[in-house]
């Protein structure tokens, strides 16, 4: 999968891919740990355009994202809907990465903790749940939370729910090490940088070398 470094240098790293639905089967067949980008809360029924947990399991998919900022911002997903998706996926045996985060307007209004509290406390405690903190203002903008800002948000999230927390917001090779050095940053939800193999490899190497 990786070119260049000795694969042993990446030992112990958990790497998951979250492709579009049309590539799920290909990624599973390639032996990659594969999550979907979304999952519905009902196991079956007339929900055109949605995909259920049993469908994903039949493909060999291991889990799903829920509540990505684009789903919240563009498709009107609510905290309750995100929680229902997470609960259904977990009950079916899938892993879940649940995304939370504030907009720029909410941060500037000093509402970050209120937003995170509302989003996080809606989620269930489960051993297969991981949270991804993705400040909406840092996604696709080139802006990134400073390591200290990320640490503060992650520590607050962990005070509400005892689960691993990933950082997702314009993670790149040149900022990954600083983010991973924070004690409450457990990994990254990588967006655009994952589409370039060299950038993604560099981020993975930064993750394996964290102290």
Q: Which of 77, 87, 102, 134 is catalytic?
A: 134
Contact between 53 and 83 under an 8 Å Cβ cutoff? The reply is: no
Annotated active-site residue 68? The verdict is yes
How far is the C-alpha of 131 from the C-alpha of 96, rounded, in Å? 8
47: left (phi over 0), alpha (psi -120 to 50) or beta: beta
Contact 56, 39 (CB under 8 A): yes
Provide the edge-to-edge strand list for the sheet that holds 95-100: 16-17, 33-36, 63-66, 95-100, 129-133, 165-167
Asked if residues 150 and 120 have their Cβ atoms less than 8 Å apart, the reply is no
Active-site residue flag, 134: yes
Angle value at C-alpha 84, between 79 and 85, nearest 5 degrees: 100
Contact predicate 38/85, CB 8 Å: yes
* Residue among 68, 77, 87, 102 flagged as catalytic: 68
Catalytic residue ranges: 68, 134
């Amino acid at each position: 999968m990786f070119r260049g470094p000795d694969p042993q240098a990446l030992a112990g790293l958990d790497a998951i891919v979250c492709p579009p639905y049309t590539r799920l089967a290909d990624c599973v067949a390639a032996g990659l740990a594969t999550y979907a980008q979304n999952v519905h809360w009902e196991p079956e029924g007339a929900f055109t355009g949605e995909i259920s947990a049993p469908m994903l399991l039949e493909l060999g998919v291991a889990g799903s994202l829920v509540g990505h900022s684009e789903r919240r911002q563009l498709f009107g997903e609510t905290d309750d809907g995100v929680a229902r998706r997470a609960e259904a996926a977990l009950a079916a045996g899938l892993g879940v990465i649940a995304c939370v985060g504030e907009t720029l307007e909410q941060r500037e209004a000093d509402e970050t903790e209120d937003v995170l509290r509302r989003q996080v406390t809606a989620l269930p405690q489960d051993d297969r749940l991981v949270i991804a903190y993705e400040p909406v203002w840092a996604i696709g903008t080139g802006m990134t939370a400073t390591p200290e800002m990320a640490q503060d948000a992650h520590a607050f999230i962990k005070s509400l729910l005892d689960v691993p927390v990933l950082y997702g917001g314009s993670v790149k090779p040149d900022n990954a090490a600083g983010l991973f050095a924070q004690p409450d940053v457990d990994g990254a939800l990588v967006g655009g940088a994952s589409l370039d193999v060299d950038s993604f490899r560099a981020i993975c190497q930064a993750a394996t070398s964290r102290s």
